[in-house]
Amino acid sequence: MKRAYFALRSALLWILSLVHFFIAAPFLVFLNIFLDMRKHDWLQRAFCRRIAFLSGARVKVIRSPGFDPQRTSFFMVNHVNVFDPFILYCAIPQLVRGWELESHFKIPAYGWLMKRFGNVPVPEVRRPSDIKRMWRLTQDATNRGTSLIIFPEAKRTRDGHVNEFQDGGFRLAQQLGVPIVPVSLVGSFQHHRTGHWMLWPATVTVHLHDTIDTTSLTKHDVPALRDRVYKLISTPVEDAFR
């Protein structure tokens, strides 16, 4: 009986979430044609808060003392499910966009929103010209004062644990001198698991760790930087399984 209740609840939440998304997303895309996205950032945040609410998630934010909300940064985050970008936008206290797989820009409504709002397309075929374009668009975004969300695992976890990190985002942070903020999403796996459709009531805690300066680093420091960030992100996630 309890399982049937949660299955019915999940179905209703998905219906409400999709109806809300396909009404609100085109409106935000249309609004962005006429207004700078910074001027209606509050509407975008309200949109993301409703997505989190309609999915049954409660969002809690914990900021480390060394987190600097004023610095344009790369927010490196563990990736769990489709709700991650929306929950992060509720939690990060500055204008932020993200690296997004180029194929996602073809998804109706969602893709329009990602493209119109200036997310950076990540090519799935990594030709040198495509990589250069991605790096140029990344630099353009940070030069405008837009922080970026990067999922260094480059895929969603299937078991809740944090997968190995790729080097690309860390190399670019070192070359551009962009600070890194490690972010741990704890509770997302309990809320919704990739590959399953059930939505469970859960608190998703977003840990914003200390901002890490990269201006003094060389390319030889990138592996150590990657490992340091991995440890900071994975520790709260792994602790939740104990």
The mean of the pLDDT values for the chain is 91
| Confidence check: pLDDT of 143 > 90 | yes
| pLDDT of the residue at 172 | 94
Rounded distance, CA 46 to CA 86, Å? 10
Q: For residue 15, what pLDDT band results from cuts at 50, 70 and 90?
A: very high
pLDDT for res 38? 80
How many domains, in total, are found in the chain?
1
Q: In this structure, what is the dihedral angle of CA atoms 151, 120, 49, 78, given to the nearest 10 degrees?
A: 0
Residue with tokens 């396909």, as numbered in its chain: 22
Write out the two tokens for 192. 């919704």
Over residues 58-72, the mean pLDDT reads 96
Domain of 234: which CATH number?
3.40.1130
Spatial distance between the Cα atoms of 133 and 174, rounded to a whole number of angstroms: 18
Instruction: With a cut of 80, say whether residue 141 has pLDDT above it.
Output: yes
The parent domain of residue 25 ranges over 2-239
By the 8 A CB rule, do 238 and 189 touch?
no
Structure tokens that stand for 67 in this block: 């987190």
**Above 80 in pLDDT, residue 240?**
yes
Would you state the pLDDT for residue 229?
98
Integer Cα distance of 84 and 192 in angstroms: 10
Distance CA 13, CA 17 (A): 6
Question: Which residues fall within 8 angstroms of residue 157, CB to CB, at 6 or more apart?
Answer: 78, 79, 80, 163, 189, 194
Tens of pLDDT, residue by residue over 211-231, are 999 999 999 999 999 999 999
Residues 49, 88: Cα–Cα separation, whole Å: 10
Distances (CA, A) of 53 to 60, 91, 200, 231: 12, 13, 12, 30
pLDDT higher than 90, residue 150: yes
